Chains A and B, each alone.
Chain A
Amino acid sequence: MENYYTDNPHLKFQLQHPLMEKIVRLKELNYSEHEKFDYAPLDYEDALDSYHKVLEIVGEICGEVIGPNAESVDHEGPQLINNEVQYALGTQENHDVLTKAGLIGMSLPRQYGGLNFPMVPYVMAAELVSRADAGFANIWGLQDCAETLHEFASEEIKNEFLPRFNKGATAAMDLTEPDAGSDLQAVQLKATYDVQKDTWFLNGVKRFITNGDADISLVLARSEEGTTDARGLSLFVYDRSNNAVSVRRIENKLGIKGSPTCELVFKNAPSKLVGETKLGLIKYVMSLMNSARLGVGAQSVGIAEAAYREAIKYAREREQFGKAIIQYPAVYEMLTLMRVKIDGIRTLLYETARFVDMYKAYSLIQHDRKLDSTERDEMKYYQKNADVLTPLLKLISSEYCNQIAYDALQIHGGTGYMKDFPVERLYRDARITTIYEGTSQLQVVAAIRGVTNGAYVKLLKEHAAMPVKPEFEYLKSILEKMTDQFAKTVEKVTEFTDNEYIDYHARRLVEMAGNVIIGFLLLGDANRDAMYTKSTDIFIRKGRAENIATVSYINNSHPKDLGDFKMI
């Protein structure tokens, strides 16, 4: 019996992070629900035990059903029949098994049939599902849409749509259009309000929509005639049973083939407004995107974990020149660096998830009562830092995921290039992670603000203030020096007050910050558990060397060099 949760001690470690006690107490409103719901926790220990037991179910389903189905799903893919999507057999089975086990709508409140899980265990489930089948993880992960409805929609919409998730309703978020990809302000799909019918009607085309034929769709559309920017866009919820949206085609993709990517035609599709008009992109989609980016972080860690396991298995079995290839420095170093990178992005993933949990818990409490000033400050603190960490997580986890998948295939040699082993699928699946939900380049645009306004340096100083065991003082002092070096380099770039020059070095600066932040997070992990000591040491040594190289490059550049990079 394979179980992806019990075979991975890193998840349990993250589940027991000290901040969890507070997160769970807030999320469970001081453990007040067990009178009303027989599955609500009695106390913190009971809640953690429940997360652990439910993740065991997820791990078992991943190991026994979703993982084994991944190959046939990759080959078969979804089909378009009479303008409707039909999943591959394995995809349907995965969805049915997870639905039956009650694993859709995990983070929704119990009154809507959910499990009321915080983000941390929910993101863990996403990591597990992604390790089993990254394409399927998209379909499963779109339950995030429920979170958006819960946060912003009216009671009427919530009561109508939310209970359907736990019963297995699938979801989609329909944002992209042929002429509105990275630039969502250009969305044109038209929403018109019919006063007599008291309904909004949608008309137009959406493209590249993951799981486009879902039961419940959130649609970004232009409700304000004559506008051309973000302020004219609103968010709508569409119910598939209205039969007013047809799937024109399913894209033939490089990877994540189990997940149907659809082109949709809306013809007078009746729908309901979520929240208020004009806030569609500015507020609701931004929030949706942040959780989607956290989702891609989980997906990246999951794919990376799968690729690493394939690589290490192969390297142990494959013999050349009379011994297993894992015994050669060129191979074992590669494998160790994969492990170190995974430890790094996993700790960043769960740190971000914890920050999201903290502010979301407060924002829910805020619906019922006024927060006191300490609570308000705390909420602001975590929201701000979640916003700082989310683009960094999306950028680094997806880039590392690709490096790890690349190296995993490399370790397989020629065999890895053939379709005989799962690693080629993982390599293809990994590729999308740096592209969707905002490309790496766009994550840099989002993250650079934190670099120039000092948010990263502030966060790093907070990390530096935390005590560590004497044996880790040395590593901490390196990280402190790296923090100063980062701050100085930022000044060096910003002193020209040339935005194009800042943009030109933006990725380098963000990656520098990433090396220090992950270094500190790993140090915190090593301080709690010796299993991270080596990873921490290696990560910091590599990070220091990388940052020194970056500093040397930046110190030798000048705004007037930009012209050289416009040669073509």
Chain B
Amino acid sequence: MATTVVMPRAGISVESCIIGQWKKQPGDKVSMGEVLFDYETDKAAFECESTAEGTLLECFFEDGDEVPCLVAVCAIGEPGEDVSGLRPGEADSGGAEPEAAPAADVAPVAETTTPATVTAGANIQGVSPRARKAAEELGVDPTQASPTGPRDRVIVRDVEAFAQSLKTGDGFGGRTFGEMVAPQATATAAPVDVEYVDEKFSKIRKTIAAGMMKSLSEMAQLTNHHSFDASAILAYRRACKAGGETMGTETITLNDMVLYAVSRTLLAHPDLNAHLLNGDTMRRFTGVHLGVAVDTPRGLMVPTIFNADKMTLAQISQTTKELAAMCQSGNISPDLLQGGTFTVSNLGVLGVEHFTPIINPPQVGILGVSGTTMRVKEGKDGTISTYQAMGLSLTYDHRAVDGAPASKFARDLCNNLAQFSLLLAR
């Protein structure tokens, strides 16, 4: 009786693998554990060892084919045996787990049935009422789940799987926190009285949670960390304060200056002052509309300074304060909470040195502003001196922008801030 060897699952999140090269050919004798072929995921290359002994009767896929995990790749048995029932998609195709989904090119199902291999949140064609209800109970966004229902519908099992992934997905290298602590938990059999209070998410919290998750799960985000000599802006800040009474500039903050610099610098880097639509269209804006992250008692809000590139520093400062006040009091118009083309988030006052801000989709970039730290530098004459450096963290969507142009933007921004007076003069 011929048996099949299936494409191994090379990791918990791996859906399919690509066959590199067959090491055995039909007709070859193979023994248990012998390498049949090598294969790769997007992360690593592996070798597939035979799980059966006998003659390799037929390879169902060729070198370079993408094969869903746990789908049969070849049949091994006695020469002359019939393998027709073993091919993937044929009557009793061998032993695939229920969740193994056939790849599109091998799926023999009816013409409109879509294979279930999909990336999270993509191509969702609706959420079943039961899934929606379950999502509400589990406090997750059902549209973030990977749909496995008919015609890419999110069904209840998808929501449950998604909720499970949120619980366990944050460990190192794919290991989960739950797995790591489980043995200890079972070892200490005696129950411990743990006091806690459950509190349901508020609506705004849910919105933030969903937005964050959507952002992280749908984009190729990465963060560059930069810093610049903040002496110029600190000096300018002191000057503003000093001249405040007569000039009305005493409330201008460091962050206002960063906002000003960003609004000017972005004009030269339209790839970052943009939206990425449908994963394949860039919408570049001529004006700069800056989102500003504001911490409120209800949670994070991001109002927009429209046409920041046309505002003076004082106007930016004034507008920022007004928007923040509206957010704090909760009476901000929803219109002011959208339309941003780039966002600035400042955690500097909280002593943060660097962080990885999360992009507000469909924007392609966000700047995280940290506090200043003392650094040393060597002068041209070899003297060592100290200065205040401010950290900037630029998160960008690698789908839209590559590392070099993003870094150029950050470099220009740093230069502009380091020579803030000159920037103002332009």
The answer to whether A and B belong to the same complex is no
Interface residues of B (CB under 8 A from A): none
